[in-house]
């Protein structure tokens, strides 16, 4: 029997996606895995089908479900919540630019069961040198603690507990937003839950691999905010 539902939303970036999938299958627990292909290019779609044949995960092509252009994170979250709630299992989101360790999933599951009144538990992200990086580069001191945090958690590698999933219906997420990690983090706190950042659970993060234009936020902020505001991209 699976101990958790794991999902990975995918928009091209096939090289990092395949690293993500490979790392998930190194996990030392039973899990049920769904990869949501959000309108990737045909070449990427073909490689995802090949990876499915190799590993056996559930591959959902969103272009067979909706005509809404990518990103379709609300749809992915709604579908994933429904699966997790039916099986009364935690949901772990591992994005397609993240590489987890063999014990990451098991340790997140254990934390979800033991941390008081938990809603979200995020593994901290690092670069290839082991330094904390986006979106958790506000954490300056290395430690192995799991901390109750007031910061919003990213969905890079984050567990949502069954208690929280059964309390807040993702149907209520706004259609006007692209990303929901900030909103869901805040909603969990409003509902009386706690969010935790697991600093001892480090995962490799290769930021914005699927949407490289977002790196403009660091190299050319003016152009980034032009694209964000005028073209209505990256709505949080």
pLDDT tens digits, 156-189: 999 999 999 999 999 999 999 999 999 999 999 9
Tokens 């403009």 correspond to 216
Please state the rounded mean pLDDT for residues 22-43.
97
pTM of the shown model = 0.90
Q: Is residue 80 part of a domain?
A: yes
With respect to residue 229, please indicate whether it lies within any of the assigned structural domains: no
- What pLDDT, on the 0 to 100 scale, is given for residue 209? 60
User: Rounded to whole angstroms, how far apart are CA atoms 204 and 74?
Assistant: 25
Residue 212: what pLDDT?
57
Q: Which has more confidence, 233 or 112? A: 112
| Cα distances (Å, whole numbers) of residue 55 to 3, 43, 52, 102, 170 | 18, 19, 5, 16, 29
Q: At residue 232, does pLDDT exceed 80?
A: no
Report how far residue 194's alpha carbon sits from residue 120's, in angstroms, rounded to the nearest whole number. 7
Whether 183 is in a domain gets the answer yes
Specify the number of domains making up the chain. 1
- For residues 137 and 43, give the distance between their C-alpha atoms in angstroms, rounded to a whole number: 34
Is 83 a member of any domain? Answer: yes
Per-residue confidence at 207, pLDDT binned at 50, 70, 90? confident
Tokens of 112: 């979800």
The answer to whether residue 232 sits within a structural domain is: no
Let me know if residue 66 belongs to a domain. yes
Q: What is the per-residue pLDDT across 86-134, written as a single tens digit (0 to 9) for each?
A: 999 999 999 999 999 999 999 999 999 999 999 999 999 999 999 999 9
Distances (CA, A) of 134 to 75, 126, 138: 25, 8, 8
Q: Is the dihedral of CA 93, 98, 100, 104 positive or negative?
A: negative
Taking the alpha carbons at both ends of the chain, their separation in whole angstroms is 36
Asked whether residue 220 is assigned to any structural domain, the reply reads: no
Residue range 45-65: mean pLDDT, rounded: 98
Residue 21: give its domain's CATH number: 3.90.550.10
Q: How far is CA 204 from the centre of its chain?
A: 13
Quickly count: other Cβ atoms within 10 Å of residue 121's Cβ: 28
Q: What is the pLDDT of residues 210-230, one digit of tens each?
A: 555 555 555 666 665 565 566
- Residue numbers of the domain that contains 29: 5-207
Nearest to 127 by CA among 197, 203, 201, 198: 203
Q: How far apart are CA 154 and CA 178, in angstroms?
A: 14
Average pLDDT over residues 73-86: 98
- Asked whether the beta carbons of 234 and 178 are under 8 A apart, the reply is yes
Residue 236 has pLDDT above 70, yes or no: no
* Model pLDDT, residue 221: 61
Question: In this predicted structure, what is the pLDDT of residue 171?
Answer: 97
217 in a domain, yes or no?
no
């Amino acid at each position: 029997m699976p101990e958790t539902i794991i999902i990975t939303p995918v928009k091209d970036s096939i090289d990092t996606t395949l690293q993500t999938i490979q790392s998930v299958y190194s996990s030392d627990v039973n899990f049920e895995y769904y990869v949501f292909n959000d309108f990737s290019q045909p070449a990427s779609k073909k490689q995802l089908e090949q990876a499915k044949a190799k590993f056996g995960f559930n591959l959902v092509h969103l272009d067979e479900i909706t005509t809404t252009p990518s990103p379709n994170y609300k749809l992915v979250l709604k579908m994933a919540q429904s699966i997790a709630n039916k099986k009364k299992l935690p949901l772990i989101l591992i994005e397609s630019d993240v590489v987890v360790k063999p014990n990451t999933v098991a340790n997140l599951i254990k934390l979800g069961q033991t941390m008081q009144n938990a809603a979200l538990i995020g593994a901290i992200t690092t670069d290839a040198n082991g330094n904390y990086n986006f979106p958790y580069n506000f954490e300056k001191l290395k430690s192995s603690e799991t901390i109750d945090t007031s910061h919003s958690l990213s969905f890079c590698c984050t567990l949502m507990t069954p208690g929280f999933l059964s309390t807040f219906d993702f149907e209520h997420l706004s259609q006007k937003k692209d990303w929901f990690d900030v909103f869901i983090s805040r909603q969990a706190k409003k509902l009386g839950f706690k969010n935790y950042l697991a600093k001892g659970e480090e995962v490799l993060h290769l930021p914005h691999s699927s949407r490289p234009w977002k790196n403009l936020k660091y190299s050319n902020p003016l152009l980034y905010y032009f694209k964000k505001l005028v073209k209505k991209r990256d709505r949080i």
